Amino acid sequence: MEFNLYTLPNGIRCIHKRVKSEVAHCAVTVNTGSRDELPGEFGMAHLTEHTLFKGTAKRRAYHINCRLENLGGELNAFTTKEDTTVHATTLRGDCNKAAELIADIVFRSTFPAAEVEKEKKVIIDEINFFRDAPADMIYDHYEDLLFEGSQLGHNILGTRCSVNKLHSEHIRSFVTRTYNTDQMVFSLIGNISEKSFRATADRYFGDLPANPRRFVRSAPEAVAPFLKTINKHNHQAHCIIGNRAYGINDRRRLPLLLLVNLLGGPSANSLLNTLVREKNGLSYNIEAGYTPFGETGTATVYFSTDRDKTDLCLELVTRCLTQLKTRLLTPRRLSMAKKQFMGQLAISSESNEGYMLGAAKSYLVYDEVDSMESVYKKVSEISAQSILEAANEIFTDTSTLIYR
């Protein structure tokens, strides 16, 4: 078995992989994100993630920051719409220290009022930073429109107004409600034996009381396709065109992933980069992306260009999408797309930290982790017809947001 899987009595799932390395990575991934915020709590999941580091029953913020950094290690965290992850990187011999520290801040943070008020100012500065970055802001704005009125229809950071209304007691209530032990995964990758891993999991996470989830996420209602243009007075125009897409449990997500990678993935020979940038010199940055959520997702094409070239770029993007919706990929083109995609997967798995976090997310969602061989097999079985169907299902009746 590629991974060792283990569930504690309180419901926390544990996943471990032994690799030859002097560096170890460990994390706790919680199935809690911005979509789990109640009305009036927008920005809460992200604020909680920030303030986990601000003090526990036995540590002040300074001691948390120094615990691993003084050993040459790193401690960090991030929040998405559906999950929160606290992760650490250390030398192999310091792995237990990292696991203990993560357990301390995830389960014993006290959220001191003075520290929370200071951190709110930092988050408001982060919000302002993104407001000055249209290439980032447009993604949040687009999803706000695409999922309007739903739990997914507000950005992760919240607003200046919503964040200012949040205080320590609100954070404690949010953690009690959403940091559920049956919605957590503790993961570790490094040169650590399975026996040592189980001992670490038992010692730092095994005696915690069970706190099962008592709420269910609501699926977003449908919204009509939209075309919205906003004058931002930027040097460039920024544009997103796309649609809602398959959820994380949908079997069609893999053909869509392959389609999006072919369309505008990271390689310089993607269809859109070749057409819009290389052949026409219209955009420095054009890309396609697919983000699955629980029961839905987003599939998008983004580009920036000169304001007076926006319509031409949209025309070229539409032409490319039309070709994918009307013409089957040739056997040779399909084979090349699969080989490229599998090569990217193999290279990305060389990052032990990224590999661990991906496996933890898979275990959290599916309660299992596919081996790389299993993933390769699934990719090899994708047909040209399934890609054509995905293109028609996702890139028909699209919605567009333009910053000019």
Q: How much is the mean pLDDT over the chain?
A: 96
**pLDDT score for 235:** 87
Is the pLDDT at 219 greater than 60? The verdict is yes
Protein fold of 227-403: Cytochrome Bc1 Complex; Chain A, domain 1 (3.30.830)
Identical fold between 4-205 and 227-403: yes
**pLDDT score for 2:** 83
- Give the Cα separation of 163 and 138 in Å (integer): 20
Cβ atoms of 243 and 43 within 8 Å: the answer is no
pLDDT (tens digit per residue) in 313-336:
999 999 999 999 999 999 999 999
Which residue's entry shows tokens 């920030």? 50
Is the pLDDT at 364 greater than 90? The verdict is yes
For residue 1, name the pLDDT band (cuts at 50, 70, 90).
Answer: low
Segment 7-14 mean pLDDT = 98
pLDDT (tens digit per residue) in 139-187:
999 999 999 999 999 999 999 999 999 999 999 999 999 999 999 999 9
Any alpha helices (H) in 112-181, and if so which ranges?
113-131, 134-146, 160-164, 168-178
- Give the Cα separation of 136 and 156 in Å (integer): 12
pLDDT (tens digit per residue) in 44-59:
999 999 999 999 999 9
Domain extent listing, the chain = 4-205, 227-403
**pLDDT score for 310:** 96
CA nearest to 342, candidates 401, 248, 265: 265
Its pTM stands at 0.94
Protein fold of 4-205: Cytochrome Bc1 Complex; Chain A, domain 1 (3.30.830)
pLDDT (tens digit per residue) in 70-123:
999 999 999 999 999 999 999 999 999 999 999 999 999 999 999 999 999 999
